Structure 1
Amino acid sequence: MAAVLTAAVEFGPDHKMTLDAELLLVLTAGDKVRMEAMLSNGRQQTTGQVAINVHAMAPAPGCFLLGVASNGNTELHLVASRGHVELATLLCERAPSLVATRNRCLDTPLHCAAKAGHMDVAAILLSAMRAGGADEEAALLARNQTGATALYEAVRHGRAGVVDLLMTEVPDMSSVAIDGDGGVSPLYLAASTKSVQMVRHLLRPSRNGTPSPASFSGPEGRTALHVAATAGKEIVQAILGWEPKGPTLLTRVDSSGRTPLHFAAFYGALDIVKLFLDDHASLRLATISDNDGSFPVHTAAMVGETRTVCELIKRCPNYYELVDDKGRNLLHRAVEHGQDSVVRHICQNDKLAMLLNATDSEGNTPLHLAVQGGYPGIVSLLLATLSVDMGITNKDGLTARDLSRLARAHEVARGSSLGYDGGDCLYWLRAPSTLDGVLRFYEKPAEEDAPAEGDDMTKSGTIASVLIATVAFAAAFTVPGGFVADDHAHAGTAVLARRFAFRAFVVSDTVAFVCSIVATCFHIYGSAREIPHGHRLWYNLLASGLVPVGSQFMIAAFAFGFHLVLGSVNRWLIVFMYIFSLASVLFCFPGIWVPLRLGLGKVVWRRAGWRGLVNIYERPSSLSHFLFLFRRSFLFLNFRRPLFVLLISATFVVAIVLSIALPNY
């Protein structure tokens, strides 16, 4: 009988018998009694009532056990997947060769038991494999079509009990990684899934006391400790306690040259950073750079992890000498990535003052990079520190203000809108500049190279201004409350003309109409090619400032008109309407928020006093000169739009008070 079974197994999966429906029901249900009855009756698998005969021999009792399902699963695969212990024991006794068979996915029954987490079935299969021949025992380390062993599948599916069993019986499985030595090992996978229990099972010493043979490899040269740095302190402690391999992983680098400390710093795992530095590492670990020359302290600064930066600085007395391949220190990297919190901490710590004016390989200070990157908040933080020098030039002989002026000239030449940036603050402070008189000689983009985005903005602004003008014009002749009839005194006038809300409605609608119609005309002039480029730019700038004002007063006109329609009997509804109207004015136009610019104002006041705020350092030669200087000052640029919002808000409050105190006013 054994010879017949072996011959059937070697006959190939394409020639195996197909399991019939009755046998599938028995296997699915785990009915051991019916299975024993089928075996005792010598049942044969048939196809079309014709028994399959191997090598022209009469089919022996139990040969139907060698049949397969449509996906290549044998009876033992089906039983192992469902955790039927008794049937698994019976099948291993009657057809031991099944323990080494594979389905179309190249899974052995042990793979199926590991995936499903059936530890008892897995133990039976392990015993049968060891009791069988060399082929069965070799199947212990078999890989399926994804390259995974049974242990890897158990880790992937989170089956900690099966992992414990396999590491006890076959610890060598842990040394097999997908795709060879450079692939993903079970330990790496367990650490990435943050399973402390499975990591401890995989790192447990063998029965004879030898260390775990687990592989620590991962993709792109990373080790299990790299991914553990983002998974939690317990997993890191378990890996570091894995002698003798664990501590050596601290200095291993991946394909980008990053150590586990780089990963811990990047993800802000402060407790793991301390663990690396306290228990197992020295200054050398914190001074290992990646392929770009970045040290762990640079990585922490780049992602804004201030506490990690402080911890690394504490452990690295030579932190100021740690620069990347571009000569940039940790403050340069923080500024480059817009990390305000790190910059603020460095500016407030006198012990780190040597970083403030350090230059990189291009001669740029952190202030240069902040201006280049367009970070007005960081510019204000740096300039608020009086030890920051505004006059340092880079290797091209340019100061920070020079860079801002070149960027501004580039925007003007391209027709882009001019927003506030750090360059404004440098202008208000009269920071040194080396471009006086020679700025015009710097190359500017040709006028025909202006981006299409500017034209799109002009078209959008024109559409918005036309819509506002149309609505405001229509509202002027469909006033709330209607008009006095012809047979009454003052025929044709508005019924509610004497109400405060009506007067506010008329003023708001007028301002909205005038601003929008003027903005429409300016947009038309700004798009005319016959007009000089510089004039067109100013037309577009003025139009872009008038459209938001028209929108704000259009919202105000809506609120006042709604107030008149609701009347005095809907007092709380009127209050609700005013609150939401004011909220729309505030949130639809964030440029009017003064607090966003108060940081720059504080810097200007600290370094230049009131003269810097009004942009007047010497007596103006004429009224036009005074207006020119004041128009470009901090006070004018930052408080012109909020003035309209304050006016609208105050009018809303007056309307609410009058509706309560004098309902008929």
Structure 2
Amino acid sequence: MDPRLYKSAMLGNTILLKEVMEEANIELDLSLQLTPQKNTALHIVAKHGHRDFASELLRKSPALLSQPNSDGDLPLHLAAQGGHKSLVNLFLDSLKNSPPREGEATDLENNGAASALWRTSNSRGNNVLHDALRCGCAEVAVTLMKFDPSLADSVNLAGESPLFMASELGLMVAVESIVSSGSSSFSREGPKGRTPLHAAVIGRHLEITRLLIEKLPDDLIKQEDTWGRNALHYAAWSTWRISLEMSDLLVTTERMLAYVKDNDGLTPFMVAIQAGSFRTACKILDHCSDVGELRDACGRNALHIAFKCHRSETLRALLKRPELVGLVNAPDNDGNTPLHVATQYHHCDGVWILLTASGVDLRARNNEGLTVADVSLLHWDHSILKIFYIWRCLIRQGAVLSQFKIAREYLGGGPLYKSCADMKSCMKTMALVVMLLATISFTAPFMLPGEAILTKKPAFMVFLLFDTVTLGCCLILTALLLFGSTGDPESLSSTAYFSAKMLVLAFWGSLLAFGAGVYAMISDENFWLAIVICLMVFSVPFICMIRVSQALTWRFSPLLEDQLEPSMEGHIKQNIATTGQ
């Protein structure tokens, strides 16, 4: 394309256009002046919205209006994409009044005009209405619908109808124009089987949702997408307040939506619980009191799902509902009650919430014969703090261990004893830490400058005392880890437990020795800095070491020996002897 022609089209400079046309030796063929993407000057004008320049081009070369670029876009498409309403009207009038070319069909509905070029789709399957809606140009969309309502019947390659796009983008004026056009031929299709109602709900457009329910046929609200989800499924998934209003509107209009299961077996009520939208769940329950009895493909009810997804607030709200009282002890297909599931997924809050509820059966067994106390001990290598907390709460509330199961697992080489390899690995790591601490504590007194001057200072005496404690703990730990890591599982657990305690003590000693040593060296010349360093050192144990100590203690402590009653342990050993295990 001539650079000056391109510039004049971009700027809308009609004077420069005349100069270009006059300077040409022969009549300039505008249809041959193309950019690399095969855009004509009229395409460029359509992008920038210069109406007067476009009129001048159409006067000189009307054929430009029907010439597409490499993407299949007519100038009308680009004008709609830019939201240039005046240009759209100009192009529509020109197309409507243009006579058909030789060999071209005519549109009898439009006074014998050339076959409706404004209905042409580009390479993406978008017609001019699609392009206007995609760019959010609602006014242009309304103009196009008034000109030709049949534009709303097209579906692009992405499976989107104009009504779907308008609903998705929240263009209320465009949606109203389409559904009120008086034509029943507009498409309601969307990608993956979704409808405009799905799009409006997902986009949280309440007024459009209400309009679609009022104007469109009743079967639209029941339509499901590829995943088997209706509009209520998507409204229930969102925790926004406006989604709560949409859920209320949908379930009030059609109660049966609440009972529909998607391809995963989830009802909208279950979806709301899974998403933590307990207000929506309660709203659905207000309209459909028995919806809580439905189960998913695995036989799980609403409480199972809430525990699996760690939704504490939702649980508290649900357990207050009398409609769900009977679900507290309901088993799934594996025989697991909601308390089993809460324990399995280490849901501490959920376990405590259920334990404080009335009517919970702590002795219930699943299909493997496991009680909730058994389940709490099966995943010994994960989330030790949570496991200990849950197990302690269950035992205090009266939960029981399945004696024969524990006999097999605890005394017969089950998962609890399979953690011996992990304990040995942890003890090796502990040995490296001990050697490092021993080296530091041994060399520290000899490396401290000014010992002759510092010997009379109390801070230096404290330094020597705690450094000696650290070194002593390290030597004891070295002996323990050297000779105690080759025993049976019981002695290994005891050794690891005691070593963890000693390691914590060694850490304390090294921290206090460091603080006292620094204070002894710099307190005379920089007292405030010495105080700050001491405070920082002393804050470390309170911030982290207490938690670490608890974790190591709970990890290696032989809990079952402390918690099993002697009579029960004897009964277990007796059963082992009689069964020959």
Q: Report the TM-score when normalising by structure 1.
A: 0.70
**Residue in structure 2 matched with residue 257 of structure 1 by the alignment:** 228
Indicate how the Cα distance of structure 1 residues 75 and 361 shifts in structure 2: closer, same or farther if over 3 A, else same. Answer: same
Equivalent position SS for 1:203:
helix
In structure 2, how many angstroms separate the alpha carbons of the residues matched to 1:521 and 1:172? 89
Distance in 1 between the 2:135 and 2:422 partners? 51
2:409 matches 1:436? no
Counterpart of 1:32, as a letter, is T
Per the TM alignment, residue 311 of structure 1 is displaced from its structure 2 partner at its CA by: 1.7
Deviations 1:104-128 (A, max 9, x none): 2222212222333322222222222
Q: Distance in 2 between matches of 1:260 and 1:244?
A: 14
Deviation at 1:229, TM superposition (A): 2.2
1:182-222 deviation digits (Å, cap 9, x = unpaired): x1334444444xx43x2431332578x51585544333222
**Unmatched 5+ stretches in structure 2:** 106-113, 551-558, 571-581
Q: Aligned to 1:163, which of 141, 161, 165?
A: 141
Q: Which residue of 1 aligns with 2:444?
A: 475
Q: Residue 277 of structure 2 aligns to which amino acid in structure 1? A: E
Of 423-432 and 507-516, deviating more is: 507-516
- Indicate yes or no: 2:146 matched with 1:200: no
Tell me by how many angstroms 1:233 deviates.
Answer: 4.3
Q: Which 5+ residue runs of structure 1 have no aligned equivalent?
A: 1-18, 45-60, 486-493, 595-611, 626-665
For residues 524-535 of structure 1, the aligned pairs below 5 Å read: 531-533=487-489, 535=491
1:264 CA drift (Å): 1.4
Kept after mapping to 1: 8 A contact 2:441/2:510: yes
2:54 to 88, 92, 97: 88
Distance 2:455 2:447 in 1: 12
Structure-1 residue corresponding to 2:72? 106
Task: Name the CA shift for 1:518/1:98 in 2 (closer, same or farther; >3 Å).
Answer: farther
Q: Distance in 2 between matches of 1:519 and 1:417?
A: 24
Percentage identity across aligned positions?
26
Choose 445-454 or 293-302, whichever is displaced more.
445-454
- For the residue of structure 1 that corresponds to 2:458, the secondary structure is coil
Quote the residue 2:129 is aligned against. 151
TM-fit CA distance, 1:307: 1.9
| Among 430, 454, 457, the residue aligned to 1:497 | 457
Q: Deviations over 1:519-564 (max 9, x none)?
A: 56655667x6x54455445544554565555445544444444444
After TM superposition, the structure 1 = structure 2 runs for residues 568-647 of structure 1, keeping only pairs within 5 Å, are 577=533, 580-581=536-537, 584-588=540-544, 591=547
Give 1:240 shift: 3.0
1:152-195 Cα offsets, whole Å, 9 max, x none, are 33333333443333333344333323327xx1334444444xx4
CA distance in 2, matches of 1:334, 1:344: 10
Q: How many matched pairs? A: 544
The within-5 A match list for 1:52-67 is 61-67=27-33
- Please point out which of 228, 237, 256 is paired with 1:266: 237
Distance 1:344 1:87 in 2: 68
Cα-Cα RMSD:
4.0
Closer, same or farther in 2 for the Cα pair 1:235/1:187, shift >3 Å? farther
CA deviation after TM superposition for structure 1 residue 43, in Å:
4.8
CA distance in 2: counterparts of 1:451 and 1:543, whole angstroms: 15
| Partner deviation per Cα, 1:35-82 (whole Å, 9 max, x = no partner) | 2344456654xxxxxxxxxxxxxxxx3424432112211111111112
User: Contact 1:375–1:421 at 8 Å: present in 2 too?
Assistant: no
Superposed CA offset, 1:371-424 (max 9, x none): 22222332222122242110112233322123234444xx59xxx999525234
Distance 1:472 1:379, change over 3 A: farther
Q: What is the deviation of 1:515?
A: 4.8
| Distance in 2 between residues matched to 1:376 and 1:432, nearest whole Å | 18
1:253-286 deviation per Cα after TM superposition (whole angstroms, max 9, x unaligned): 1111111111111112344334443475243121
1:115 aligns with 2:81: yes
Aligned match of 2:109: none
Once residues 425 and 206 of structure 1 are traced to their aligned partners in structure 2, the CA distance between those partners, rounded to angstroms, is 59
**Closer, same or farther: CA 543–617 of 1 in aligned 2, 3 Å:** closer
Q: Cα deviation per residue 1:495-518 (whole Å; 9 max; x = unaligned)?
A: 46324xx56545554555555565
Structure 1 letter corresponding to 2:160: V
Q: Counterpart of 2:339? A: 367
Matching of residues 286-305 of structure 1 within 5 Å: 286-305=258-277
Is the alpha carbon distance of 1:579 and 1:447 closer, same or farther for their aligned partners in structure 2, counting shifts above 3 Å? closer
Alignment partner, residue 111 of structure 2: none
For 1:583 and 1:162, locate their aligned partners in 2 and report how far apart those are by CA, in whole Å: 67
SS in 1 for 2:79: helix
Shift of 1:457: 5.2
**TM-score, normalised via structure 2 length:** 0.79
Q: 2:452: which partner in 1?
A: 484
Secondary structure, in 3 states, of the residue corresponding to 2:239? coil
Would you say the 8 A contact 1:77–1:109 is kept in 2? yes
Instruction: Report if the CA contact (8 A) 1:508-1:556 is conserved.
Output: yes
TM superposition shift of 1:433? 3.0
Decide whether the 8 Å contact of 1:264 with 1:272 is kept in 2.
yes
- Please name the residue that 2:281 is paired with: 309
How far the C-alpha of 1:365 sits from its partner, in A, is 0.8
Deviation of residue 347 (structure 1)? 4.0
C-alpha separation between the residues in 1 aligned to 2:152 and 2:546? Answer: 57
> How much has 1:334 moved relative to structure 2?
0.4
What amino acid is aligned across from residue 444 of structure 2 in structure 1? A
Cα offset, 1:589, TM superposition: 5.2
The residue that corresponds to 1:21 in the other structure is 3
SS in 2 for 1:229: helix
Residues 419, 470 of structure 1: alpha-carbon distance in 2 compared, 3 angstrom cutoff: farther
Distance 1:566 1:220, change over 3 A: farther
CA contact 1:177–1:217 (8 Å) conserved in 2:
yes
Moved more, 508-517 or 136-145: 508-517
- Assess, with a 3 A threshold, how the Cα gap between structure 1 residues 508 and 109 changes in structure 2: closer, same or farther: farther
> What's the counterpart of residue 110 of structure 2?
none
Change (3 A) 1:32 1:71: same
